[in-house]
Amino acid sequence: MVFSSATFLFLFFPLFLILYNLKLFKDKNKETLKKNTVLLIMSLIFYAWGEPVYIILMLLSIFYNYNAVIDIDRYISSPKKKKLVFVCALIFNIFMLGFFKYYGFVVESINGLFSLSLPVKNIPLPVGISFYTFQVLSYVIDVYRGDVKAQRNIIPFATYISMFPQLIAGPIVQYSDVEKQLSDRQVTAEKFAAGIMFFIKGLGKKVIFANTVGAVYTEILGMETATLSVVTSWLGIICYTLQIYFDFSGYSDMAIGLGKMLGFDFLQNFNFPYKAVSITDFWRRWHISLSSWFRDYVYIPLGGNRKGTARTILNIFVVWSLTGLWHGAAWNFIAWGVFYGVLLIAEKYVFASVIEKIPKFIRYTVTMVIVMIGWVFFSNESLSAAFDYIGSMFGLWDNCFIDSTAEYLLSGNLFSVIIMILCATGVFAALPRIKNFRVNIAFMSIGYIGIFILCIIYLISETYNPFLYFRF
Amino acid sequence: MDNSELFDKENTTANAGKSSKGKVLFSLLIGAFCFIIFAGGITLFTGEDREFSESENRVLAPAPDFSFYAVKDGSFMKAFETYFTDQFIFRDEIIRLKTFADRLTGKTEVGGVYIGEEGYLFSVPAPFDEKKQEIMKKISAFAESNKDSKVTFMLSPNSSHIYKDKLPAHLTLEDQKAQTEKLQKYTESKKVNFINLYDAFSAQKDEIQLFYKTDHHWTTDAAYIAFSELMKSWKKSTAGVKFNFLPVADDFQGTLSSKSGVNSSGDIIEICVPQNSALTYVVDYEDGEKKTASLFDGSKLQQKNKYEVFAGGNYGKITIRTTSSEKDTLLMVKDSYANCMLPMLTPFFAKIVVIDPRYTKEKLSAVIEENDFSHILFLYNMDTFLGDTSLEGFIA
Amino acid sequence: MSKAGYGQLICVLLLIAFIGFSFFVEEDTVKAADEIGAAVTENISTQGLKNFDGERLSSQFGFDVDEFDSFFYCGSEDIMDVREILIIRDSEKAALEKAAKTIEKKSEEKYSTYKDYDPVASSLLEKSVLEISRGAIIYIVHDDAAAGLEAFFKCVEE
């Protein structure tokens, strides 16, 4: 199930709210247990709605890791055994993710490298496996390190892994961040209202913004790349840049909002990445939960930057190749990751002293151009298609600067693209607020409900499917 | 660390969550949100399901059947989502609102339809296909081998070309005039009389409405111009026949309107009836499946697609036998543009066989073998000619 | 070994079993296409449909029917009636996949012909089912396509 579907919004979620908030027990602990149980069961239904078979996989992951962590905790005094259980758990989780996500890619790559023809079976990717495996790993590693206590009760643990707000598209919630809330959390009217606002904001980003610009980019991708005018190709990549941000951060906002309505506080996942003035800055603002996961569980354990320059560079490369690979099982994602690895190293070692002296405006422009070029690699499955597109952006194929297609696309979309750019770069968010608190809240409430209704209009009319007798 | 501190950077909504002053105001937001989501769900279970959508002209999805396999492969869930959105309360109104909003924001293309000026809607024209020269060559060869029949090829441009001044600003589409001339060049045989309607249409496009605003078809007036061109080329005189034009509908919302959801003022449909009291005819659909004495089907004026008033819609084969004193017989290979022209032709032929290659499995060779035709006419509009491949199969 | 240790072991075994089930061990059914066809048509209405021979099948889809182990094909004589049920059995997976691609293409072509012209036919084509399982292809264009598919799965998995 996805949040932006009628079934979720109007059936699943209302039903969930009733069950979740129905007060059965006076005792606080019992009530929390009931809440966790409802959340767990409903999350499993939520997952099974889209992936009826792969739910088995998630349940296996939950049971395995629950037991593994109990063992790790038990062998606290015999490091060897503890290590053995831990390594087994790492292998189990990485194998599960690796097999279901990368099997086809690995076989195809081997076939390509050694010109073999091993049979490739297309295994559909279990939704959310990248996210919940990373959550499980963070928990297992934290327990092994002694940073958090092992969860002895399977219900809160299973709830943590399968919780529907962040199950499908993150953010990656680390166990230590929600440990307390799993056994004790409060929902106040303010928090619930803030949750609604977050949710509606995210839904709007996804349904109104991302889908609209996404359609423009799809249309441009459908054209002959080599003959795109410079303006068209830039418009296309700007649209994709906006689409991927609104889509992804919209999903995170919805997750954070839903979390708040249930009493959880998830960490922020995006902080206006398109305001970044350097690549390092960009990655501090983009998909924060993933970057911090890789920092905490790969980069720092590898030695981080404490083992000399050569080792640091190697570590950065490892982390960024993995980051690329995490986004998808294809070479273009690895290329995209390495692209950023190189840039971050360059920023750190080559340009570090120069950057400060460059005017902010130029730094910002350069950063955004680099980010957009990154998205070209991200969105084109083959590297050659990506280079073709970049060529068009810089007029390398003798394509004209502007043509009638570009003028037409601009006339239809310029207005909405500018609005979206202003939203994405935080210009609107920085506008001064109404001073009077009550008036401010009233305005915001009306505004958000308006956006919510608009989202529903977009959602329903997307399914407009007229039947035409129009064969000429 | 306090999480909400972090949110503050991006979001002021979290600010709101920290203070307790606006409790009442918060409950307003919570109440409205909950009302919308609960009401949206409950209304699915109240009232009867709608079976048919008038505005979308299709059967709406019914509640899916529950079965283990349907759940296992996920098809039940997909069907349920379709069912839910199809039956969603105020569905038609919501869609109309969206179209309205789209137009407000300056969107000029909705659902693959360009929204032009003065209420004109245009379909996206089919791209030119060099392979079409094969057809022109085949028709040439066919004409060479059938010396007894006059072979005519007539191609109508589409409204997006004739009324290109009414297209949305900055939009340029393929030049159908050049395309037509290219096709004419591929016609090698002198035996094929290629009629290009472009000039005749361009000359009269401002005085006469040649295309419907809400539909992709030409109007009966345009068909009459084309008909006159045909008569000129066949050297037939229309002097003895009077053509009466009668409006039969003034609220025609055609396929372009359905497709985009944009309703402009309705189009007027006229029918053209040749006045010749002595003339009667019998129309035979699909070799005896249905027989009528009229080329109009008035019942179709009650439905959404009123263009089907002409010849009752699309049939693979129609045979018209007339009491005309003429000896000539006509084979017409056509798309639906021809439908409104058929009545005009009846006084001038003893027999007309009308073939729409898209809806028949007959072959040209077989049709020719069964009958002798003095005239053979291929009548297409540019879009169908470029976009459809059934003509190839028919001639082969 | 501890209780939790057994828990982990069971999970590992179950994971291997799950991968095995979804991946390796899907043995072909031993049944011939006719038998599967009979099971499928038992569950859906066949009024106005008749069984066709290989000639009709090859003219419709361009198959060389002798290449298949067995097939079952029924449809209607009426051109405007698009209902059809096709089952192909073959031990070679690649051949089945190729055939399925052909069917898919044909089906899409047909849909684009009927789309916007015949609502009944196009809605049937839209919800037509095409699946490969246990060495057999099933392709159904029918009101009861879902029921037919269910019967098919039941039959080949027995």
B296/B284 Cα distance (integer angstroms): 13
Together in a domain, A195 and A181: no
Q: According to the model, what pLDDT value does residue A76 have?
A: 81
**Is B46 an interface residue toward A (CB < 8 Å)?**
no
Q: C116 to chain A: nearest residue by CA?
A: A469
Give yes or no for A238 touching C (CB within 8 A): no
Residue B69 distance to chain C (closest CA, Å): 6
Name the residue among A10, A188, A429 with its Cβ closest to that of B10.
A429
Instruction: Select from B261, B244, B258, B276 the least CA-distant residue to B346.
Output: B276
Chain A residues whose beta carbon lies within 8 Å of the beta carbon of residue C11: 60, 63-64, 67, 92
What span, in angstroms and rounded, lies between the C-alpha atoms of A22 and A15? Answer: 11
**DSSP alpha helix (H) spans, B176-268:** 176-186, 198-204, 220-234, 255-260
Task: With a cut of 60, say whether residue B151 has pLDDT above it.
Answer: yes
Token digits of residue A37: 């149980």
Answer yes or no: do C4 and A70 touch at CB < 8 A: yes
Task: Establish if A74 touches chain C: CB-CB under 8 angstroms.
Answer: yes
Average pLDDT over residues A38-42: 94
Residues spanned by the domain of A141: 6-185
Mean pLDDT of A162-166: 91
Is the pLDDT higher at B58 or at C8?
A: C8
Residue A317 sits in the same domain as residue A358? yes
Domain shared by C36 and C106, yes or no: yes
Over pLDDT 90: what percentage of chain A? 42
Q: Is residue A450 part of a domain?
A: no
Q: What is the pLDDT of residues B274-315, one digit of tens each?
A: 887 678 889 998 887 788 888 998 888 888 788 989 988 888
Tell whether A233 is covered by a domain. yes
Residues A213 and A351 in one domain: yes
Q: Identify all chain B residues contacting A408, using CB atoms and an 8 Å cutoff.
A: 168-172
Give me the mean pLDDT over the A312-340 stretch.
Answer: 89
DSSP β-bridge partners for residue B193:
B152
C22 touches chain B (CB under 8 A): no
Confidence of residue A38 (pLDDT cuts 50, 70, 90): very high
Same domain, C81 and C40: yes
* Least Cα separation, residue A153 to chain B (angstroms): 26
Looking at the fold, whether C43 and C12 belong to one and the same domain comes out as no
Say whether pLDDT at B178 is over 50.
Answer: yes
Q: Which comes out higher in pLDDT, residue B8 or A220?
A: A220
What integer is the mean pLDDT of B44-48?
A: 80
The Cα C72–Cα C87 span in angstroms is 5
For A350, which DSSP code?
I
Which of A185, A212, A240 is the last residue in one of the domains? A185
Of A76-90, B102-116, B166-180, minimum mean pLDDT range: B102-116
- CB of B303 less than 8 A from some CB of C: no
One domain for residues C7 and C54 = no
- Please answer yes or no on whether B28 and A442 come within 8 Å at the CB atom: yes
Three-class SS of residue B97?
A: helix
For residue A112, what pLDDT is reported? Answer: 81
Query: Which of C15, C115, C119 is the closest to A60 by Cβ?
Result: C15
CB neighbours of C48 closer than 8 A, spacing ≥ 6? C76, C78, C81, C83
User: A345-370, pLDDT tens digit by residue?
Assistant: 888 888 878 888 888 899 999 999 99
Q: With contact defined as beta carbons under 8 Å apart, do A290 and B28 qualify? A: no
Q: pLDDT band for position C117 (50/70/90)?
A: low
B5, B21, B29: best mutation site toward chain A, by most A Cβ within 10 Å? B29
> How high is the pLDDT of residue A161?
92
**Most confident of the following: B89-93, B224-228, C140-144:** B224-228
Q: Rounded to an integer, what distance in angstroms lies between the CA atom of residue B356 and that of residue B391?
A: 9
Closest residue to C113, CB basis, from B58, B69, B358: B358
Residue A146 pLDDT > 80, yes or no? yes
Shortest Cα distance, chain C CAs vs residue A7, angstroms? 21
Q: What is the pLDDT, as a whole number, of residue C116?
A: 65
Residues 195-254 of B with CB under 8 A from A: 216-217
Residues A177 and A302 in one domain: no
**A452 vs B: CB within 8 A:** yes
B377: helix, strand or coil: strand
* In a domain? residue A454: no
Q: Are residues A250 and A369 in the same domain?
A: yes
Q: Are residues A166 and A201 in the same domain?
A: no
Q: Are residues C16 and C57 in the same domain?
A: no
Please give, rounded to a whole number of angstroms, the shortest distance from the CA of C155 to a CA of chain B.
13
Residue contact B255–C150, C-beta within 8 A: no
Q: For chain B, which chains pass the contact test of at least 3 CB pairs under 8 Å?
A: A, C
The answer to whether the CB atoms of B59 and C123 lie below 8 A apart is yes
Query: At residue B336, what are phi and psi to the nearest 5 degrees?
Result: -70, -10
Residue C50 CB-density burial (10 A; 0-12 exposed, 13-18 middle, 19+ buried): exposed
Q: Is there a single domain that holds both residue A14 and residue A143?
A: yes
pLDDT for B269 equals 94
Give the mean model confidence (pLDDT) for residues B327-338.
92
Beta-bridge partners for B153: B194, B378
B319 DSSP β-pair partners: B284, B353
Per-chain mean pLDDT for chain B: 84
Q: How far is B3 from chain A (nearest CA, A)?
A: 6
**A92 lies within 8 A of chain C by CB:** yes
Domain of residue C16, residue span: 1-27
Average pLDDT over residues A117-128: 74
- Indicate if C23 and C36 belong to the same structural domain: no
pLDDT for B239-263, tens place per residue? 888 899 999 999 898 888 888 878 7
CB contact under 8 A, B58 and C113: no
Chain B contact for A469 (CB, 8 A cutoff) = yes
> What's the pLDDT tens digit per position in C8-62?
888 888 888 888 877 665 667 788 888 888 888 888 888 878 888 877 787 778 7
Q: How many domains does chain A have?
A: 2
| Chain B residue whose CA is closest to C150 | B69
Least confident of A137-141, A466-470, B301-305, C77-81: A466-470
- Work out the pLDDT band at A192, boundaries 50, 70, 90: very high
Higher pLDDT, A224 or B339: B339
Question: What residues of chain C lie within 8 A of the CB of A66, using their CB?
Answer: 7
- Helix residue spans in A263-348 (DSSP H): 279-285, 288-294, 309-327, 331-345
A471 Cα to chain B: minimum distance (Å): 8
Express each pLDDT in A95-105 by its tens digit: 999 888 888 88
In-domain check, residue A344: yes
> What are the chain C neighbours of B305 within 8 Å (beta carbons)?
none
Order of all β-strands in the sheet with B113-115? B109-110, B113-115, B121-123
Decide if B291 touches A, using CB distance below 8 A: no
Structural domains in chain C (count): 2
Which span out of A413-417, B46-50, B208-212, C143-147 was modeled with the highest average pLDDT?
B208-212
**Which residue of B51, B69, B314 is the best one to mutate when testing the C interface, meaning the one whose CB has the most C CBs within 10 A?**
B69
Min CA distance, A350 vs chain B (Å)? 31
List chain C residues with CB under 8 Å of A154. none
Exposed (0-12), middle (13-18) or buried (19+): which is C35, by Cβ within 10 Å? middle
Same domain as A363, residue A412: yes
For residues A96 and A234, membership in a common domain is answered with no
Same domain, C40 and C23: no
The minimal CB distance from C11 to the residues A60, A85, A121 is found for A60
Shared domain check, C18 and C54: no
Cβ contact, residue pair C7, A469, below 8 Å = no
Mutate to test the interface with A, among C2, C3, C8 (most CBs of A within 10 A): C8
B300 CA to chain A: closest CA distance, Å?
13
pLDDT in tens, B18-36: 444 557 778 889 999 999 9
Instruction: Give the 3-state secondary structure of residue B122.
Output: strand
Structure-block tokens of residue B360: 């028949």
User: Is A67 within 8 Å of chain C by CB?
Assistant: yes
How many residue pairs bridge chain A and chain B with CB atoms within 8 Å of each other?
221
How far, in Å, CA of B142 to CA of B189, rounded?
Answer: 9
Instruction: Specify whether A265 is located in the same domain as A390.
Output: yes
Q: Active-site positions of A?
A: 327
The pLDDT, as a whole number, for residue A364 is 92
pLDDT for position B22: 57
Total beta-carbon pairs less than 8 A apart between chain B and chain C: 24
Residue A432 counted as domain residue: no
Q: Cβ contact (<8 Å) for C7 and A63?
A: yes
Question: Same domain, yes or no, for A278 and A380?
Answer: yes
As a whole number of angstroms, the distance between CA C86 and CA C82 comes to: 12
Q: Is some CB atom of chain C closer than 8 A to the CB atom of A64? A: yes
Interface ipTM? 0.86
Chain A contact set for B168 (CB, 8 A): 408, 411-412
- A399-456 per-position pLDDT tens digit: 888 888 888 888 888 888 999 999 999 888 788 877 777 788 888 889 999 999 999 9
Task: Determine the residue among C21, C78, C79, C156 to mutate to test chain B binding: the one whose Cβ has the most chain B Cβ atoms within 10 Å.
Answer: C79
Q: Are residues A116 and A92 in the same domain?
A: yes
Is the separation of the CB atoms in A467 and C119 below 8 Å?
yes
Write down the pTM of the prediction.
0.78
- pLDDT at residue number A431: 80
